[in-house]
Amino acid sequence: MALKDPIARLKLILPLLATAALLAFPACDAERRKSDAELGLNPQQAAGRRIYDNYCDRCHAPYSSRGRQGPSMKGVFKRQYLPVSGMPANDDRVSDIIRMGRNKMPGYTQVLNQQQMDDLLAYLHTL
Ligand code: HEC
């Protein structure tokens, strides 16, 4: 049979190795992205998630505590104080930071209207 031929044997083994690598790799980093339904988001929170994905996700991880350019947003409203600024973790202070920006974080006054801010905050409360 063709398996005696080393090339044929390689052709058989390589896809297996590739599959094994694919299966092993995601386990060490990002989890599969969950759907809005899996996260139990209501329509407003889901709208906030779209805004987060567009403007915040590149600098702030939502579901892992790993930092990106900015600190993780995981559990941002679950603590009493924000970890970097030390400000109280409430809607007013977080809205201020989002509107004005801080250090390397840009401000979003010109970008997000009040409805979008409300949606974004609703989503941040689910993290
Ligand atoms: C270019 C990267 C970048 C983007 C985009 C960005 N941020 Fe930030 N953010 C940062 C950095 C850096 C800090 C830390 C600022 C400091 O030094 O206090 C921060 C701080 C924060 C804080 C306060 C954290 C704390 O512990 O004090 C909040 C809340 C926050 N960002 C939310 C957001 C949200 C919501 C968005 C999307 C609308 C966003 N950020 C977009 C980089 C970013």
- How much is the mean pLDDT over the chain? 88
Task: For the chain, list the domains and their CATH numbers.
Answer: 38-124 (1.10.760.10)
pLDDT at 16: 63
**Is a pLDDT exceeding 70 seen at residue 19?**
no
- pLDDT digits 0-9 by tens, 20-39: 555 555 444 567 899 999 99
Q: Is 46 in the pocket of ligand 1 (CB under 6 A)?
A: no
pLDDT at 4: 73
Where helices occur in 29-113 by DSSP H, the ranges are 36-39, 43-55, 91-100
**Is a pLDDT exceeding 80 seen at residue 72?**
yes
A 10 A CB-CB count for 52 gives 19
Q: Quote the distance between the C-alpha of residue 83 and its chain's center.
A: 18
pLDDT at 14: 65
Q: How confident is the model at residue 62 (pLDDT cuts 50, 70, 90)?
A: very high
Q: Is 67 in the pocket of ligand 1 (CB under 6 A)?
A: no
Q: Is 84 in the pocket of ligand 1 (CB under 6 A)?
A: yes
- Residue 39 Cα to ligand 1 midpoint, Å, equals 23
- Residue 71 Cα to ligand 1 midpoint, Å, equals 7
Q: How confident is the model at residue 124 (pLDDT cuts 50, 70, 90)?
A: very high
